[in-house]
Structures are given as C-alpha cells and as structure tokens.
Structure 1
Amino acid sequence: MTNGWSSDADKAEHVARTVADTLGGDINITYSVAGGRRADARIREAIRKEARVIVVGNRRMRGIGRVLGSAANSVAHSAPCDVYIASTYDAD
C-alpha cells in the first residue's frame, strides 16, 4: 500500500497539520528531527521550543513494544506539555 509519503518526516508533518486543523485557530506548527534516544530528544526539543503539544505516532506500540515501552509512551509520561499520540500503524 502506498500513501504518497516519501519519509517519516513527511508523515509526521501531515499528522501535525491534521491535528492543527482539527484544533482550529491560528496554530504555528514546527517539526524537527533530533538525534539521540528518541524520547529524550523529543522532550529536549519541546523544552527548547517551548512547545505546547507534541505529536508522536504509535507505529511501534504493539506486541512486545507495549510491554517494554516505546518512544511515544516515554514522551507521554515525561513531556513538559500535552502529547497527542496519532495512530500511524499501517496494517499489512
């Protein structure tokens, strides 16, 4: 199945814009890719940008990943702001 997204960054931007459209109003969207442990990097970036919400996908939140944890789960429990976990799991 193809969805027209060329990268995870494109998909992340699409999800962020969809969330912003749903929330309405004048919302400034920024996105970035950060190195290091995924959850820690996202939290550091949110603090640096004084983010009001973090949007993450749940692609790896199934099976053993749910038991051991995931980046989205770690962000949700440690973020300094609201976290929106978008369904990004593509069933095969």
Structure 2
Amino acid sequence: MANKKVAIVTGAASGIGFSTAEALAKEGTQLVMADVNEEKLKNAAEKVGGIYLAADLSKRENCKTLVEMAMEHYGRVDILVNVAGLQNVC
C-alpha cells in the first residue's frame, strides 16, 4: 500500500470530480475526496473507496483540515485534482 499514489479530489461527489476519482481508483490510487454535498459524497466514497470530508473549501480552515486528513491517513499527497467550484445563483 505504501507505493500507491495518494490523491485529493475536490468536487468529488458528482460530475467531473466523481469521474476523476473513479478513474484514479481504478488505477489503484488511494483517495481523499471532498465536496459540500455530504450525502452525495458519502455515496461516491462508497462506490470508489477512500476517505472523505464534506466541507466548504472556500474556507481556508477546511482546506487545511482536508490536507491534514490526507497526511494523517496516508502520510503524503501525490496528486491534487481541484474540481470544486462556486456557482453564482443570483
């Protein structure tokens, strides 16, 4: 397990983020997934494996928590895929 890559994927609950997490998992990558939608994120993590954090990543402290979580669980981060984005709903 120590030689497997570790990836953080944000926006991982659906769409491009989930597809990216799914593809990385198929390659044997250890996943740390994040999204604001906890229910969808939990379902995504159950499908592809890995650990997850439901959080608003526009807040710096949540980003820090995500990286700390990855480091505590896997000891490193090799890949960052930042798909999370903000929607303007005005």
Assess same fold via TM > 0.5: no
Larger RCO (CA within 8 A; separation ≥ 6): 2
Structure richer in strand, relative to its length? 2
Normalising by the residue count of structure 2, what TM-score does the alignment of the two structures yield? 0.34
Larger Rg: 1
